[in-house]
């Protein structure tokens, strides 16, 4: 099934495949004619000492080989065209599919594994296609041709060959199946190696500061050794092809000799026929030795096809609903959670339990709560990164599951906890928020995010290139860029996931003031009281539930937990101070 | 219809730098040396399995020998026993043949059996060496490179080497062996005709040069493009959350298409041109036969040679080109391996930060006296990230860095841990200049809670134990309790044995920080570094950890970076940084009295509340 999925990618190149195969047939024909020409040159020319015959057939032969050469070169173009385009299509399709993945798919296919599948596995298939279009036809045709020719020579003796072929075919099929499984295990080990490397690169500072070089080396060595053992196992199985083929074919030579001897005795065969048939057996052996190679690449390709098909056929369970109305644009940013419960796919515990609240258009809502109380989980539900298990989330009165993902997310500006910037210039990173943003818009967003002054001072300004993780910027600078990226969208809903943690209080205040000019509903996860004070509504979360809500002043009076948080930031004196005022 | 015909020839040409392709004499030889160097290095790894390699060689000899012996006996059997109808002798001959065939198969089996092992061991060693070397490279190296690109070297490039070693070594040996054999026989039969046959060699060399000159570069370009594609995949995978919420799927797909197209371009030309080799060899092969027939015919006319010799010779000439053909093919495979190996070796050749400190000092006991003297540093060597910083942290003191983002706080810590070395000035620990101390020996005395709290795939327990590998389960739990992580851990389904997956799903950022703190607590260092260690933790929990941290910091020199000023009030010294310079220095109370930047910052919280 799965192999078929990958084979179907050859479809668009049917024509080129056909031409490539035809060209190999041309080559093959020339190759088969070649011995006849040689025989002619030797028998009619050299033997007869007739130089003109030699010259005539010699030039015919040269002509033929030039034709074969031309066919071969052209074949190279067509075969590469098919294989590289198929590889290209596979990669594109894989990448596109992965982009449509829901987060639950990612726990099924870790990044490192997806990377292996998109590069390493596709490479295997690419090489297989190229090889197939060049030699695949050749080996079977040579084998079949030899058997047919042998049948013409002497039916009884040739039966021996007819009998050996099925044995070999069964053996080769069995081997291919078995090797396919082994190679699948090999590719899984490549995933693991990839994974360890990826972790190590991401955590290089941590590893260096804890001096865990040797520990990591051991971990890597174990993964890499596993890969080695599995590879050796698979290859060793495959490498038995050659000796076995040799043994079977040589065995049939012995049989031909034995039965041939009897045949000569009883008059059923001539010595010449025995010689001829043995000649064909030798030729078959030569052609069959190519099979060893074919088996390797085919069983690898089989394993890789399955891995690719796994991704292509993966169920994406978070899609646009079928019964979508015409795109209901989000105009107000009215967010309503109604008895929402949620657990991460594949886990058993609810991280959110019966959550209900409403953020009215233009409101600023602060979400406060202990570490692990479900704040970020709740946030991710708004742009529908996950689907909920119970309840409904409505935006502008519309169930989020009914809104086209594109439209939903277009109106949301999300600033995640960890500021992830992409390789490229600052300007390019800003364009992530809005593709067609003008210079002015970029400047405005950077200014509002309180980072414009810093950027202007950089030698290359907004053309400054930032690294993979934005390494040459400080944590706070990255955070502000990531805020600017959200602001530039002019979203109707702005989500700040503790995104001001690295900002000092003054900068934060300026930022919050600048936000006032944006007409949007803002929800901010925060630890800082300074952020909550000006909020229209504060939600206090604990263990996946909202335990208190209200304004700063209300909560300060009613909620013991809120008082405790306040105290933790301003000390007892602060609390006393506040109480005096009230 | 016509379009379908011409499509394959319309692939965009790849720009291989005209100058390089045409190449002056000097450049081509340099290039060849380059290959030789790479091959030699691969060979050095292979040679580590010398004994097995010799065994493989012996098996190649044996299998070639049996391969010749078999037909020889078959010939005798037919000529002598079948024609003469000697059944008894035929039986003996067949028995002999059976033994020979068995031995032949065994020899073939063994040569592959051992070669696979040698090849995989070589690949394993190279991979391990590369990985170990990566860890010795300084931090700036990693700043400049994409992770996925580096990953591609450890998998895709190594894969190229692996594929080649598995098959090519045997093929090359066998081909060379047959080549020597046939040339000897040909020389024996007719030196003159041999010479004529060898005339195709220059044509072959010329053709091969034309091809390999291109494929060598094309393979390299292909591997490079593959690496870049891998880098792009990695980056977009780790940025999925952003891509999804900003619905930028189309944009990244477009970016992917671009790199994918580049890869296809290089791949197409590499594959097409390398596909020329067997075709070229085939043609030359046929040409040589025609030449032998023609010239041989002329010789025969003048009785310089017998017809029988020409016939046999023509047959051998055919055999002569087969190993050459094989060699040419293998050469091509070899080129793709070299392209991979070069990329692997280029990383191994990056100067590491460990070996340049062979004769540097080992710090044995550290009390924790840290001094910065006029330290300046910048990442890009233009402008200063930190300027002329001086301070002293006495043993057991807690020192806090405060300041707006981008003021250089994290940079100070990177300098202290020697992730980077200062451009100017010195940093000393216990009076020893740390630029003269081995990096690992320095870090051994420090424990870090870094800004990005990273967790490895594995259990919670393993992640905490990372701080001290030989810690007992009790110690791990003790550290978790101190860091206030115990309660959420025990809430998890499998407690300390709960698995953390690559996405870290189900664990919040704050919980990650708690685990990072537990990890550092376990390390028990002389110098403790906390860079925004509690930034994502709620303030109530933070307060609880603060007590634990205070206890921990007692008797140790500690460096703390925090934005929440209340967490650093107890610090012995607070350094206020702005634009890489220390603008204020003192204790919390002193700084409040000064009514400067710090006081401003501190009061801004309360003031707003009260006001």
- DSSP for B417-464, written as a single string: TTSS--SEEEEEETTEEGGGB-HHHHHTTEEEE-SS----SEEHHHHH
Sorting pLDDT into bands at 50, 70 and 90, what band is B103?
very high
pLDDT of residue B58: 92
Beta pairing, strands A493-497 & A521-525? parallel
Interface contact B165, partner A, CB < 8 A: no
pLDDT of residue A365: 92
| Residue of B113, B261, B311 lying closest to A236 (CB–CB) | B113
Per residue in B218-254, pLDDT (tens digit) is 888 888 888 888 888 888 887 777 777 777 788 888 8
Name A542's bridge partners: A545
State the average pLDDT over residues B263-292.
84
Q: What are the residues whose beta carbons fall under 8 Å from the beta carbon of A528, sequence distance 6 or more?
A: A500, A501, A505, A508, A569, B539, B564
> Quick one: closest CA in B to A19, which residue?
B5
Chain A nearest-CA distance from B582, in A, is 17
Compute the mean pLDDT over every residue in chain B, rounded to the nearest whole number.
82
Assign residue A211 the CATH number of its domain: 1.20.1560.10
Residues 87-116 of B with CB under 8 A from A: 87, 90, 93-94, 97-98, 101-102, 104-106, 108-109, 112-113, 116
Phi, psi of A497 (to 5 degrees): -95, 90
Chain A nearest-CA distance from B385, in A, is 10
Residue A208: name the closest of B421, B441, B113 by CA. Answer: B441
pLDDT of residue A471: 56
Q: What are the residues whose beta carbons fall under 8 Å from the beta carbon of A408, sequence distance 6 or more?
A: A330, A383, A384, A395, A400
The string over A315-332, giving b where at least 16 C-beta atoms fall within 10 Å of a residue's C-beta and e elsewhere, is: eeebeeeeeeeeebebeb
Instruction: Verify whether the Cβ–Cβ distance A81 to B297 is below 8 Å.
Output: no
Does A30 reside within a domain?
yes
Q: Which of A523-537, B496-510, B525-539 has the lowest mean pLDDT?
A: B496-510
pLDDT of residue B23: 38
Interface test with A, best of B317, B404, B604 (most A CBs within 10 A): B404
Instruction: Please check whether residue A390 is in contact with residue A548, taking contact to mean a CB–CB distance below 8 angstroms.
Output: no
pLDDT of residue A26: 87
Chain A nearest-CA distance from B249, in A, is 6
Instruction: Please check whether residue A531 is in contact with residue A512, taking contact to mean a CB–CB distance below 8 angstroms.
Output: yes
Does A332 reside within a domain?
no
Environment class of residue A571 by beta-carbon count within 10 Å: exposed (0-12), middle (13-18) or buried (19+)? middle
| Residue of B93, B454, B508 lying closest to A203 (CB–CB) | B454
Per residue in B552-561, pLDDT (tens digit) is 788 889 999 8
Chain B nearest-CA distance from A1, in A, is 27
> What is the torsion angle, in degrees rounded to the nearest 10, for the CA atoms of residue A158, residue A163, residue A168 and residue A174?
160
Interface contact B603, partner A, CB < 8 A: no
The secondary structure of A364-428, three-state, reads EEEEEECCCCCHHHHHHHCCCCCCCCEEEEEECCEEHHHCCHHHHHHCEEEECCCCCCCCEEHHH
Instruction: Please check whether residue A484 is in contact with residue A448, taking contact to mean a CB–CB distance below 8 angstroms.
Output: yes
pLDDT of residue B364: 81
Other CB atoms within 10 A of residue B388 CB: 15
Residue A451: name the closest of A525, A514, A530 by CA. Answer: A514
pLDDT of residue A577: 59
End-to-end CA distance of chain A: 73
Instruction: Verify whether the Cβ–Cβ distance A123 to B159 is below 8 Å.
Output: yes
Does A563 reside within a domain?
no
pLDDT tops 60 at residue B30 = no
| Residue of B97, B535, B543 lying closest to A501 (CB–CB) | B535
State the average pLDDT over residues B513-542.
85
What does chain A come to in residues?
582
Sorting pLDDT into bands at 50, 70 and 90, what band is B319?
low
Written as six digits, the tokens of B414 are 């990177």
Chain A nearest-CA distance from B26, in A, is 31
Sorting pLDDT into bands at 50, 70 and 90, what band is B609?
very low
Environment class of residue A393 by beta-carbon count within 10 Å: exposed (0-12), middle (13-18) or buried (19+)? buried
DSSP B470-486: T--HHHHHHHHHHTT-H
Residue A200: name the closest of B130, B559, B369, B331 by CA. Answer: B130
pLDDT of residue B1: 65
Instruction: Verify whether the Cβ–Cβ distance B280 to A69 is below 8 Å.
Output: yes
Instruction: Please check whether residue A565 is in contact with residue B544, taking contact to mean a CB–CB distance below 8 angstroms.
Output: no
Q: How far apart are CA A296 and CA A278, in angstroms?
A: 28
Does A57 reside within a domain?
yes
Strand order through the sheet with A364-369? A412-415, A493-497, A521-525, A364-369, A537-542, A545-550
pLDDT of residue B476: 92
Instruction: Verify whether the Cβ–Cβ distance B108 to A489 is below 8 Å.
Output: no
Range of the domain at A202: 2-312
pLDDT of residue A523: 92
Interface contact B70, partner A, CB < 8 A: yes
Written as six digits, the tokens of B175 are 């081909």
Does A22 reside within a domain?
yes
Instruction: Verify whether the Cβ–Cβ distance A201 to B151 is below 8 Å.
Output: yes
Angle between helices B200-238 and B276-301 (to 10 degrees): 170
Q: What ipTM was assigned to the predicted interfaces of this complex?
A: 0.82
Set of chain B residues whose Cβ sits within 8 Å of the Cβ of A565: 538-540
> Residue with structure tokens 């003297």?
B373
Per residue in B432-482, pLDDT (tens digit) is 888 888 888 888 888 888 877 788 888 899 889 888 888 899 999 999 988
> What is the torsion angle, in degrees rounded to the nearest 10, for the CA atoms of residue A353, residue A359, residue A363 and residue A368?
0
Sorting pLDDT into bands at 50, 70 and 90, what band is B205?
confident
Set of chain A residues whose Cβ sits within 8 Å of the Cβ of B536: 371, 417, 498, 501, 527
What's the pTM value of the predicted model, to 2 decimals?
Answer: 0.83
Does A289 reside within a domain?
yes
Q: What are the residues whose beta carbons fall under 8 Å from the beta carbon of B253, sequence distance 6 or more?
A: A92, A95, A96, A99
Does A568 reside within a domain?
no
Chain B nearest-CA distance from A2, in A, is 23
Beta strand residue intervals within B251-410, DSSP E: 370-377, 386-393, 398-402
Set of chain B residues whose Cβ sits within 8 Å of the Cβ of A61: 286, 289-290
pLDDT of residue B29: 40
Q: Is the dihedral of CA B200, B205, B208, B210 positive or negative?
A: negative
Q: What percent of chain B has pLDDT over 90?
A: 6
Does A408 reside within a domain?
no
Instruction: Verify whether the Cβ–Cβ distance A509 to B267 is below 8 Å.
Output: no
Q: What are the residues whose beta carbons fall under 8 Å from the beta carbon of A15, sequence distance 6 or more?
A: B4
pLDDT tops 70 at residue B21 = no
pLDDT of residue A325: 58
Q: Which residue stretches of chain A have pLDDT < 70?
A: 1-2, 35, 46-47, 321-328, 467-472, 571-582
Domain count, chain A: 1
């Amino acid at each position: 099934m799965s192999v078929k999925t990958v084979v179907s990618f050859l479809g668009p190149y049917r024509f080129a495949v056909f031409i490539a195969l035809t060209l190999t047939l041309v080559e093959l024909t020339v190759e088969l004619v070649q011995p006849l020409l040689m025989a002619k040159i030797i028998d009619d020319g050299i033997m007869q000492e007739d130089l003109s015959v030699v010259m005539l057939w010699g030039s015919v032969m040269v002509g033929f080989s030039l034709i074969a050469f031309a066919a071969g070169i052209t074949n190279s173009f067509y075969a590469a065209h098919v294989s590289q385009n198929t590889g290209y299509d596979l990669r594109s399709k894989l990448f596109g599919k992965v982009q449509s993945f829901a987060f639950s798919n990612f726990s099924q296919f870790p990044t490192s594994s997806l990377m292996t599948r998109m590069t390493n596995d596709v490479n295997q298939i690419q090489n297989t296609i190229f090889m197939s279009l060049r030699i695949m036809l050749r080996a079977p045709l040579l084998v079949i041709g030899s058997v047919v020719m042998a049948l013409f020579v002497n039916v009884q003796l040739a039966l021996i060959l007819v009998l050996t072929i099925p044995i070999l075919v069964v053996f080769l099929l069995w081997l291919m199946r078995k090797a396919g499984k082994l190679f699948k295990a090999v590719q899984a080990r490549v995933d693991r190696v990839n994974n360890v490397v990826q972790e190590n690169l991401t955590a290089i500072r941590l590893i260096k500061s804890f001096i865990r070089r040797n520990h990591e080396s051991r971990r890597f060595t174990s993964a890499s050794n596993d890969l080695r053992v599995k590879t050796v196992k698979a290859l060793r199985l495959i490498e038995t092809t050659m000796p076995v083929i040799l043994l079977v074919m040589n065995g049939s030579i012995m049989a031909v000799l034995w039965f041939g001897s009897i045949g000569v005795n009883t008059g059923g065969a001539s010595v010449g026929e025995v010689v001829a048939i043995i000649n064909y057996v030798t030729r078959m052996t030569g052609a069959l030795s190519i099979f060893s190679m074919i088996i390797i690449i085919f069983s690898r390709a089989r394993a890789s096809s399955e891995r690719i098909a796994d991704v292509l056929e993966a169920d994406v369970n978070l899609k646009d609903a079928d019964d979508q109305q015409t795109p209901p644009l989000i105009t107000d940013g009215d967010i309503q959670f109604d008895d929402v419960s949620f657990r991460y796919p594949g886990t058993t515990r609810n991280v959110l339990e019966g959550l209900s609240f409403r953020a009215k258009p233009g409101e600023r809502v602060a979400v406060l709560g202990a570490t692990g109380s479900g704040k970020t989980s709740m946030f991710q539900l708004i742009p529908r990164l996950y689907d909920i298990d119970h309840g409904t989330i409505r935006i502008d009165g519309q169930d989020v599951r009914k809104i086209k993902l594109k439209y939903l997310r277009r109106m949301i500006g999300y600033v995640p906890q960890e500021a992830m910037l992409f390789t490229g210039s600052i300007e390019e990173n800003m364009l992530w928020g809005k593709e067609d943003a003008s210079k002015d818009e970029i400047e405005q967003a950077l200014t509002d995010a309180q980072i414009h002054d810093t950027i202007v001072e950089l030698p290359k300004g907004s053309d400054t290139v930032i690294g993979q993780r934005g390494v040459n910027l400080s944590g706070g600078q990255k955070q502000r860029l990531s805020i600017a990226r959200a602001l530039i969208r002019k979203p109707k809903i702005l989500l700040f996931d503790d995104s001001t943690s690295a900002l000092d209080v003054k900068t934060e205040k300026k930022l919050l003031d600048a936000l006032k000019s944006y007409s949007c509903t803002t929800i901010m996860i925060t630890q800082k009281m300074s952020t909550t004070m000006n909020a229209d509504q504060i939600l206090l979360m604990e263990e996946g539930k909202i335990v208190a809500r209200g304004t700063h002043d209300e909560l300060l009076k009613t909620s013991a937990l809120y008082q405790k948080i306040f105290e933790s930031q301003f000390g007892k004196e602060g609390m006393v101070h506040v109480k005096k005022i009230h | 219809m016509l379009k379908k015909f011409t499509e394959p020839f319309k692939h965009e040409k790849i720009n291989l730098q005209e100058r390089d392709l045409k190449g002056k004499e000097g450049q081509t030889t340099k290039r060849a040396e380059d290959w030789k160097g790479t091959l030699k290095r691969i060979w050095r790894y292979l040679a580590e399995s010398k004994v097995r390699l010799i065994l493989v060689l012996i098996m190649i000899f044996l299998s070639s020998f049996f391969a010749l012996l078999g037909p020889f006996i078959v010939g005798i059997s037919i000529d002598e026993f079948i024609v003469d109808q000697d059944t008894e002798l035929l039986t003996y001959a067949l028995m002999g043949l059976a033994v020979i065939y068995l031995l032949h198969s065994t020899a073939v089996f063994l040569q592959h059996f051992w070669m696979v092992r040698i090849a995989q061991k070589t690949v394993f060693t190279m991979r391990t060496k590369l990985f170990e070397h990566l860890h010795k490279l300084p931090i700036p190296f990693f700043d400049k490179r994409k992770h996925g690109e580096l990953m591609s070297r450890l998998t895709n490039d190594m894969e190229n080497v692996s594929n080649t070693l598995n098959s090519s070594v045997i093929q090359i040996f066998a081909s060379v062996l047959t080549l020597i054999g046939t040339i000897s026989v040909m020389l024996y039969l007719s030196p003159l005709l041999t010479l004529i046959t060898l005339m195709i060699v220059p044509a072959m060399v010329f053709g091969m040069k034309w091809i390999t000159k291109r494929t060598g570069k094309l393979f390299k370009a292909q591997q490079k493009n593959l690496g870049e594609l891998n880098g792009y995949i990695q980056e977009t995978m780790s940025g999925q959350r952003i891509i999804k919420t900003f619905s930028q799927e189309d944009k990244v797909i477009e970016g992917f298409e671009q790199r994918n197209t580049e890869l296809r371009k290089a791949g197409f030309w590499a594959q097409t041109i390398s596909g020329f080799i067997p075709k070229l060899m085939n043609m030359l092969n046929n040409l040589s036969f025609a030449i032998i027939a023609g010239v041989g015919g002329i010789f025969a006319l003048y009785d310089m040679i017998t017809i029988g010799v020409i016939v046999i010779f023509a047959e051998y000439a055919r055999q002569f080109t087969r190993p050459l053909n094989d060699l040419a093919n293998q050469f091509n495979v070899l080129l793709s391996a070299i392209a991979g190996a070069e990329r692997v070796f280029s990383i191994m050749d990056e100067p590491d930060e460990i070996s340049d400190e062979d004769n540097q000092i080992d710090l044995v006991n550290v009390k924790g006296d840290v001094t910065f003297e006029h330290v300046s540093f910048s990442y890009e060597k233009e402008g200063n990230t930190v300027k002329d910083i001086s301070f002293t942290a006495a043993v057991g003191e807690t020192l806090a860095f405060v300041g707006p983002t981008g003021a250089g706080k994290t940079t100070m810590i990177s300098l202290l841990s020697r992730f980077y070395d200062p451009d100017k000035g010195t940093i000393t620990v216990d009076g020893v200049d740390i630029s003269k101390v081995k990096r690992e020996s320095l870090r051994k005395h420090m424990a870090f809670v870094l800004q990005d709290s990273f967790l490895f795939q594995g259990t919670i327990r393993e992640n905490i134990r990372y701080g001290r590998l030989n810690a007992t389960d009790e110690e791990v739990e003790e550290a978790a309790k101190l860091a206030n992580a115990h309660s959420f851990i025990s809430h998890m389904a499998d407690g300390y044995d709960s698995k953390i997956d690559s996405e870290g799903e189900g664990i919040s950022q704050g919980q990650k920080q708690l685990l990072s703190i537990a990890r550092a607590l376990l390390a028990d260092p002389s110098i403790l570094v906390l860079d925004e260690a509690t930034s994502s933790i709620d303030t109530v929990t933070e307060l609880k950890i603060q007590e634990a941290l205070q206890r921990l910091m007692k008797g140790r020199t500690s460096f703390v970076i925090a934005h929440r000023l209340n967490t650093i009030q107890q610090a012995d010294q607070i350094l206020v940084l702005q634009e890489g310079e220390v603008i204020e220095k003192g204790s919390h109370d002193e700084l409040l009295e000064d009514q400067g930047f710090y006081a401003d910052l501190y009061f801004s919280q309360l003031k707003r509340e009260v006001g």
